Structure 1
């Protein structure tokens, strides 16, 4: 647990084993950072269990984070990978979640750091990895106080962030620990960093039905590739879970996003007017350097009975 007294600032390597990841905590216990022996790193804010940085061995950042993002726990983080649960957007017609704030409460609650695991055998020298686990439950002290009042269900969330030399995996397990069934939605709201959105193409969504939340239309399709030239907010539902989404810049593949048990892919970019209206979006032309590709299960509801669990994950691979 991060808040225990006299905790070590660094989780050191075990003597006699090959070099492995080092996990450190910030002085104020607000974030956890892991670095592989090869130089790749990831940083997770305990507020929301939000991944706020993912860098390759050269130190190049792969995620976009607003310069005005609130990292003090006062609101959800604009950028990185916020965790959306138990509702995507708002659902005024859904009885269980109609009073919850946009995107639920997981991204505004303080999670507990549960520990790390690493690849520590000689065969892992060429492919080191580190996994960080975080937890949030209905009994947790860090739960957003309004959540207990507005969503009175017994639940447990385990969120895992796994870093390898060329990928980042984020996965969540949702468990119903109570007697009452509940409905939920899950989304991993990933902000990818790009150099220039005008040179970006997204492949892997051709002929896939989508809901266009800007135009308020449903069951739309388009051929590959998708380009971003205006405000974009779409929920795609690919027919196959194995279908990957590839993000390229100037024709060169940069990211490949794959999903595990997450049926939908949201593609979002606020463009000029939307970005201008968000106080925590800086710089205002930052939409040119970001693209949200967000695996989730949001076009319908997961219904969990007592003891049921739902598990979903994404893997972002550097191509």
Structure 2
């Protein structure tokens, strides 16, 4: 069986390699493990709670309908940081394809966290599709506005925690020349560094990055992770470093910042306004493709 389902989670195993699998917690529809030929690709905090009591620290949490804590919109500002998708139990919709094995999860207002839909009473339908390839993992989202009269305003982000060996000799490439908003410095500028290197807390939104720009995590000249995007204009790169890690109770071990980097495809530098009856689609594809250097155009 390529699919195992329990009350709390779904495990999807590749039919051609029993050591390649992905595990999804129904709470938040959060992918918290992705093993490629037995090797874990995602970072998960040892303090992460997998009992549905709070969002998972690590893996691929889903950010909707707001990124961070919004203070501008009278409705979205009522929601906690990163919205309600990661705080709600999704419905497992079943398998849609045998090979590569593909499954779907769904969330709408009627089954989402009721404490949060009281704060943000918009109608929405979300379908998350997870496709497990022999050498890739694709997570795709569809956001539908079922309303017949009002626009749906939202952000989307795949908050992807990638597992690495050592942050101090790891770089993120192919984002040079992009407009960035640095949330640590609270400044906006054009990043002219050829690669991103880490010597401290890094929390930067790379804005309106072309879809054909392939983001790679590189160590010792070799690609560790490749992140491709479909219809996701922004890329957040985050590492909490020492002090920020100390302040997060579920971030364990405190030295864990050395073994993770978040490369997060999303649409967060502005809001999507989805017309009544319309559907918005986007995806990320994680793999270990060959090194690809893309210079500033």
Alpha-carbon distance, 1:99 to partner? 0.6
Q: Which residue of 2 aligns with 1:270?
A: 240
The equivalent position to 2:4 in structure 1, one of 24, 29, 45, is 24
Alpha-carbon distance, 1:239 to partner? 4.2
Q: Distance in 1 between matches of 2:209 and 2:50?
A: 37
Alpha-carbon distance, 1:229 to partner? 1.1
Give the structure-1-normalised TM-score: 0.88
Alpha-carbon distance, 1:80 to partner? 0.2
Native 8 Å contact 2:209 2:235 kept in 1 = no
Alpha-carbon distance, 1:267 to partner? 0.2
User: What per-residue deviation string (whole Å, max 9, x for no partner) do you get for residues 69-115 of structure 1?
Assistant: 01111111000000000000011112230110000000010000001
Q: Distance in 1 between matches of 2:245 and 2:288?
A: 27
Unmatched segments (≥5 aa) in structure 2 = 290-297
Greater share of residues in strand: 2
Native 8 Å contact 2:209 2:234 kept in 1 = no
Alpha-carbon distance, 1:220 to partner? 3.4
Which secondary structure state, in structure 1, belongs to the residue aligned with residue 106 of structure 2? strand
The equivalent position to 1:94 in structure 2, one of 73, 78, 82, is 73
Q: Distance in 1 between matches of 2:217 and 2:87?
A: 29
When Rg is computed on C-alpha atoms for both structures, the one with the higher figure is 1
Q: Distance in 1 between matches of 2:264 and 2:216?
A: 13
Q: Where do 1:219-238 residues align within 5 Å? A: 219-238=189-208
State yes or no: 1:64 paired with 2:35: no
Please report the RMSD computed on the Cα atoms of aligned residues, expressed in angstroms: 1.1
Native 8 Å contact 1:202 1:224 kept in 2 = no
Which moved further from structure 2: 233-242 or 64-73?
A: 233-242
Q: Which residue of 1 aligns with 2:163?
A: 193
Q: Which residue of 2 aligns with 1:163?
A: 132
State yes or no: 1:314 paired with 2:292: no
Q: Distance in 1 between matches of 2:116 and 2:145?
A: 15
Give the structure-2-normalised TM-score: 0.94
Alpha-carbon distance, 1:182 to partner? 2.1
Q: Distance in 1 between matches of 2:186 and 2:47?
A: 30
Which moved further from structure 2: 76-85 or 244-253?
A: 244-253
Q: Which residue of 2 aligns with 1:52?
A: 32
Native 8 Å contact 2:143 2:281 kept in 1 = yes
Q: Distance in 2 between matches of 1:94 and 1:296?
A: 19
Which secondary structure state, in structure 2, belongs to the residue aligned with residue 183 of structure 1? strand
Native 8 Å contact 1:201 1:251 kept in 2 = no
Native 8 Å contact 2:132 2:138 kept in 1 = yes
Q: Distance in 2 between matches of 1:213 and 1:114?
A: 37
Unmatched segments (≥5 aa) in structure 1 = 1-11, 13-21, 120-127
Q: Which residue of 1 aligns with 2:11?
A: 33
Which secondary structure state, in structure 1, belongs to the residue aligned with residue 40 of structure 2? coil
Which secondary structure state, in structure 2, belongs to the residue aligned with residue 129 of structure 1? coil
Which secondary structure state, in structure 2, belongs to the residue aligned with residue 265 of structure 1? strand
State yes or no: 1:305 paired with 2:284: no
Q: Which residue of 2 aligns with 1:147?
A: 116
Alpha-carbon distance, 1:224 to partner? 1.4
Q: Distance in 1 between matches of 2:208 and 2:71?
A: 26
Q: Which residue of 2 aligns with 1:279?
A: 249
Q: Distance in 1 between matches of 2:12 and 2:228?
A: 23
Count, aligned residues: 286
Which secondary structure state, in structure 2, belongs to the residue aligned with residue 246 of structure 1? strand
Which secondary structure state, in structure 2, belongs to the residue aligned with residue 98 of structure 1? helix
